[in-house]
Amino acid sequence: MNVYGLFGESLVHSYSPSLHKLIYQKIGLEAAYQLFAFPPTQLKQAMDGIRTLSINGVNVTMPYKEASISYLDEIDLFAQKLGAVNTIENVNGKLIGHNTDYDGFGLILTRRGWEIRGKIAVILGSGGSSKMVEAYLMDHGIKRLYIVSRNPERFKNTSKKKYTNYEEVQSLTGDFLINTSPVGMYPNNKATPLNEKTIKRFDRLIDLIYNPSETTFLRLGRENSKQTANGLDMLVGQAVRAVEIWENCSIDEKVTEELITEWKNQQGESL
């Protein structure tokens, strides 16, 4: 039986084991999925442990999506472009990095029919998840993109993309406001990266956080009649793609839709 898992620093909020169990049941796969939480100082030992313990593959979450790259034997071209990995496969002791978050994020938009082309978007956060969202938006024709960072001077602006800080973002207006930061994640549910006044100036809000299912950020958007989406679709989408990589298989889109429906029903969340 193959063994998979999740690498992260704090994983008490993670739904991944339950979700992967559901995926394995759907496709008739005998496999186990475990959580591996550890501090940043133990990242090298954890990466070595994939080989030592013959773990077949792992997902990678904050804060290791970028830091883990230096310990890999190979990284696919797409993950290189994004500068972040969230999926590692162990091929006979050779660790290969991939990024399936891109496909997962796209699922949030396509399932709702939200068009990106010609729109203005603001991304909160500048880490690995932010880079993935940036790549998706750029690939799908975003007109103008603002990326909010605590240290925007570290980055280079382009004709379509500008880095800014959390003070300046309060004067921006746009179509999409996307939170890729951990602000609002369990157990700090009451926190929000932006205040209600700023949130009101955007039409659609996306929060990559999925626990809680409605963050304070999204609640403020809903209460002001904004369209909102959390990160559950992305969680399911990236997990399905990871299993496809690990098992070298193809999972039908209908299965993904069934997984989303069943998972959200289990969590008591309406579609």
Query: Domain residues for 13?
Result: 2-99+233-266
**pLDDT averaged over the chain?**
94
- Poorest-pLDDT segment among 27-31, 43-47, 60-64: 60-64
Contact predicate 145/174, CB 8 Å: no
Contact predicate 216/184, CB 8 Å: yes
pLDDT score for 268: 61
> Are residue 107 and residue 87 in the same domain, yes or no?
no
> Are residue 116 and residue 173 in the same domain, yes or no?
yes
> Are residue 51 and residue 115 in the same domain, yes or no?
no
pLDDT score for 264: 78
pLDDT score for 14: 85
pLDDT over 80 (residue 15): yes
Cis ω for the linkage preceding 39 (within 30 of 0):
no
**Per-residue pLDDT band at 112 (split at 50, 70, 90):** very high
> Are residue 17 and residue 109 in the same domain, yes or no?
no
CB count, 10 Å around CB of 70?
A: 9
- Asked if residue 259 belongs to a domain, the reply is yes
| Partners of 74 in beta bridges | 96
- Asked if residue 179 belongs to a domain, the reply is yes
- Asked if residue 225 belongs to a domain, the reply is yes
pLDDT over 80 (residue 41): yes
Contact predicate 177/202, CB 8 Å: yes
- Asked if residue 254 belongs to a domain, the reply is yes
> Are residue 238 and residue 225 in the same domain, yes or no?
no
- Asked if residue 158 belongs to a domain, the reply is yes
Contact predicate 127/65, CB 8 Å: yes
Distance CA 71, CA 84 (A): 13
- Annotated active-site residue 254? The verdict is no
pLDDT score for 269: 56
In the numeric block, which tokens belong to residue 213?
A: 């299912």
> Are residue 206 and residue 131 in the same domain, yes or no?
yes
pLDDT score for 271: 39
pLDDT over 50 (residue 34): yes
- In the β-sheet with 31-37, what is the strand arrangement from edge to edge? 31-37, 2-8, 57-60, 87-91, 94-98, 74-75
Q: Which helix (H) or strand (E) holds 96?
A: strand 94-98
pLDDT over 80 (residue 270): no
- Asked if residue 119 belongs to a domain, the reply is yes
Distance CA 19, CA 60 (A): 15
> Are residue 146 and residue 31 in the same domain, yes or no?
no
Helix, strand, or coil (residue 190): coil
> Are residue 225 and residue 246 in the same domain, yes or no?
no
Across the range 22-32, mean pLDDT stands at: 95
Catalytic residue from among 26, 65, 143, 226? 65
Name which residue leads in pLDDT, 120 or 128. 120
pLDDT score for 265: 80
**Per-residue pLDDT band at 202 (split at 50, 70, 90):** very high
- Asked if residue 56 belongs to a domain, the reply is yes
User: For the chain, what percent of residues have pLDDT higher than 70?
Assistant: 98
Distance CA 189, CA 203 (A): 23
> Are residue 43 and residue 114 in the same domain, yes or no?
no
DSSP state of 251: -
pLDDT score for 211: 84
DSSP state of 226: -
Write the CATH number for 43. 3.40.50.10860
- Asked if residue 271 belongs to a domain, the reply is no
Across the range 72-85, mean pLDDT stands at: 92
HSE-CB at 91 with a 13 A cutoff on CA atoms is 16
**Per-residue pLDDT band at 263 (split at 50, 70, 90):** confident
> Are residue 67 and residue 177 in the same domain, yes or no?
no
Write the CATH number for 194. 3.40.50.720
Q: Which residues contact 113 (CB under 8 A, 6 or more apart)?
A: none
> Are residue 93 and residue 35 in the same domain, yes or no?
yes
> Are residue 216 and residue 247 in the same domain, yes or no?
no
pLDDT over 90 (residue 64): yes
Distance CA 168, CA 186 (A): 27
User: For the chain, what percent of residues have pLDDT higher than 90?
Assistant: 85
Name which residue leads in pLDDT, 83 or 7. 7
Distance CA 201, CA 119 (A): 14
Give the helix ranges, DSSP H, for the chain.
16-27, 43-52, 77-82, 101-110, 128-139, 196-199, 216-223, 232-247, 253-266
pLDDT score for 58: 98
Domain count, the chain: 2
